[in-house]
Amino acid sequence: MDCIFCKIISKTIPAKILHETTNSICFLDAFPLTKGHVLVIPKNHCEKIQDMTVDENADLFSLVHVMMSKVDSITGSTLIAIHNGKEAGQEIPHLHVHLVPRDSSDTGGPIHSMFDSSLQLPDSEIEKYYNLLKI
C-alpha cells in the first residue's frame, strides 16, 4: 500500500510519534497549521469513520480525548477536525483527526468561514433532511 500514514504506522518513514495504543497512533503533523498540530489515526487503514469497527472507534476517540489535554495546554483552545471523505476535503485517504491549537492571532476562522454563504432552505427541505437523518 502506498499510504503515507500506513508507512508511519509501520515505521517505514519517520514521524514524531507522541503516543500509540493497540489500534491508534498520534504524531505531530509534518505540515502543521499551527505550532503543536497533532494527527490521531487508526492503525488499520480506514478511509472514513464508518469504516472502523466499534473497538477501533472507541480506541481512536479515547486517544483523541487523552491528547486534547496536552494540545489544549498550548493555547487553551483546540480545533478538532475530520475530513470524512475526499469531497469533505480529505487529502490522504486514511482517516485522521486533526488537533490544531488555536489562538486569536492565527489565520483560521470558525467553520462557517469555510463556505461562501449560509444555506437558506425552505421548511419543506429542512423537514426532508430531518426525516432522512433522524434515528
To the query of whether residue 96 is one of the catalytic residues in this protein, the response is yes
Phi, psi of 37 (to 5 degrees): -65, 120
Domains of the chain, each with CATH number or no CATH: 4-133 (3.30.428.10)
- In whole angstroms, what is the distance from residue 127 CA to residue 106 CA? 38
The chain-wide mean pLDDT, for the chain, equals 95
pLDDT in tens, 64-101: 999 999 999 999 999 999 999 999 999 999 999 999 99
State residue 32's pLDDT score.
Answer: 97
- In whole angstroms, what is the distance from residue 16 CA to residue 36 CA? 11
Q: From the candidates 19, 83, 94, 96, which is the catalytic residue? A: 96
